[in-house]
Amino acid sequence: MSSIDFAAAADLATLHGLLDLVQMKNGWAKPVPSFYPEPKQTFVPAHWRYRDARAALHKAGSLVATEWAERRNLIMANPIPGNDYPTVRTLVGAYQMVQAGETARSHRHTPNAMRVVLEAAPHTYTIVAGKKIPMAPGDVLLTPNWFYHGHSNESDEEAYWADFLDSPLVHLLGPMFFEGHPGELEPAQEIATASPLRFAFAEYKPRLLNQAEQAAGVRTLLLGPSSLPTFDRVAVSIAKGATWTVPRSTVNAIFIVVEGEGTSNAGGAHFTWQRGDMIALPSWYDHQHKAASDAVLMRVSDEPLLRKLDWVRSGANG
Ligand SMILES: [Fe+2]
């Protein structure tokens, strides 16, 4: 028999008070419903300019010491109140710079990561699982869950790239682990130009341009087969003057401009972008991208995760 005298409650307010004593919440007068007819999105479409990030990182190069090179980055936190990390609910996008002659210490973590190289002179490498992978502008590089990775800029120019990680998803679910490499920078001799963890721009751009058009002047290419379980990367080419229209879906995405310039519309926001810029496209916003010159965008999204869970729906068919 309950130690709380629920039978004596004369009205609902009293019953609610008694429920507090046993840490239970009523489901009939819940102030915020737990179920609703379609997604409620708290994140907003947003745009960041590479030219701003580049100038800030260049300055940080003289203010943030080399021993913190692996953390000399800028986080594109979605501009909603109280947020200082995710770009969209499951993913974060960031920019990073490693100076000429500098190394960024090797480490590993459970979040999966991917890079899109913006500026890198020959002899700039990311070291993944003991191999040096060349970084060239436009290249896409993967560092899966628990693979050691570090960077070695053996050129005489600063290297800049964009990072994408599923760490916000790891924060939601809990399984965060991180450790530094015992040797600081993981030793590596072999240069793995054809690593399965690298999608070289010189290789994927012609392949992208050979795809059939999905709409006038618009082609897409999923960069695979190497895959991360939680997010993928789709290269999108939009010819000068063409428009790519995407109906809202449950997929969260971040776009980075690999080449060209243009404009995007999403949820009433209008952005004018150029090479290197990043755009947050949270789920459930219709969006449209128009190229002012031949453009290549990279869409990084949690579609593989939502697909596994059978939660992909779009405004076009949902
Ligand atoms: Fe990392």
CA of 113 relative to ligand 1 center, distance in Å: 7
Count the Cβ atoms, other than its own, within 10 Å of residue 68. Answer: 12
| pLDDT number for residue 316 | 67
Mean pLDDT of 247-276: 97
CA of 297 relative to ligand 1 center, distance in Å: 23
Measured distance CA(35)–CA(33) in Å, rounded: 6
CA of 109 relative to ligand 1 center, distance in Å: 7
In this structure, of 39-48, 219-228, 298-307, the range with the lowest mean pLDDT score is: 219-228
CA of 70 relative to ligand 1 center, distance in Å: 8
Distance between alpha carbon 106 and the CA centroid of its chain, in Å?
21
CA of 1 relative to ligand 1 center, distance in Å: 55
CA of 306 relative to ligand 1 center, distance in Å: 24
Q: Which three-class secondary structure state does DSSP give residue 297?
A: strand
Mean pLDDT of 13-23: 96
CA of 202 relative to ligand 1 center, distance in Å: 25
CA of 252 relative to ligand 1 center, distance in Å: 22
For 71, counting Cβ atoms within 10 Å of its Cβ (0-12 exposed, 13-18 middle, 19+ buried), the class is exposed
Q: How confident is the model at residue 278 (pLDDT cuts 50, 70, 90)?
A: very high
CA of 177 relative to ligand 1 center, distance in Å: 11
CA of 114 relative to ligand 1 center, distance in Å: 9
Mean pLDDT of 300-316: 94
Mean pLDDT of all residues in the chain?
A: 95
Contact assessment for residue 50 and residue 95, using Cβ atoms and an 8 Å cutoff: yes
Mean pLDDT of 282-288: 97
Percent of the chain surpassing pLDDT 90: 89
For residue range 36-68, list pLDDT tens digits in order.
999 999 999 999 999 999 999 999 999 988 877
98, pLDDT greater than 50 = yes
Mean pLDDT of 102-115: 96
CA of 131 relative to ligand 1 center, distance in Å: 16
CA of 180 relative to ligand 1 center, distance in Å: 10
Q: Which CATH number fits domain 46-197: 2.30.110.10, 3.30.70.920, 2.60.120.10, 3.90.78.10?
A: 2.60.120.10
Per-residue burial over 20-48, b if 16 or more Cβ lie within 10 Å, else e, is eeeeeeeeeeeeeeeeeeeeebebbbbbb
CA of 93 relative to ligand 1 center, distance in Å: 13
Q: Please name the residues in contact with 304: beta carbons below 8 A apart, sequence gap of 6 or more.
A: 227, 228, 229, 230, 231, 232
| pLDDT number for residue 70 | 78
CA of 108 relative to ligand 1 center, distance in Å: 6
CA of 155 relative to ligand 1 center, distance in Å: 21
Q: Which CATH number fits domain 202-308: 2.60.120.10, 2.102.10.10, 3.40.50.1100, 3.40.50.300?
A: 2.60.120.10
- Whether 202-308 and 46-197 are alike in CATH topology: the answer is yes
| pLDDT number for residue 318 | 44
| pLDDT number for residue 302 | 97
Contact assessment for residue 17 and residue 5, using Cβ atoms and an 8 Å cutoff: no
Task: State the pTM of this model.
Answer: 0.95
Alpha helices per DSSP H over the chain: 12-21, 50-63, 167-173, 201-209, 303-308
Compute the C-alpha angle 148/151/155, nearest 5°: 155
| pLDDT number for residue 214 | 95
CA-based torsion, 116, 118, 122, 127: positive or negative = negative
CA of 179 relative to ligand 1 center, distance in Å: 10
Q: How confident is the model at residue 190 (pLDDT cuts 50, 70, 90)?
A: very high
Contact assessment for residue 161 and residue 115, using Cβ atoms and an 8 Å cutoff: yes
| pLDDT number for residue 29 | 87
| pLDDT number for residue 31 | 84
Helix, strand, coil shares of the chain, percent, nearest 5, are 15, 35, 50
In the chain, where the domains are located: 46-197, 202-308
For residue range 119-170, list pLDDT tens digits in order.
999 999 999 989 999 999 999 999 999 999 999 999 999 999 999 999 999 9
CA of 65 relative to ligand 1 center, distance in Å: 18
Measured distance CA(274)–CA(254) in Å, rounded: 15
Structure tokens at 279: 């755009």
Q: How confident is the model at residue 69 (pLDDT cuts 50, 70, 90)?
A: confident
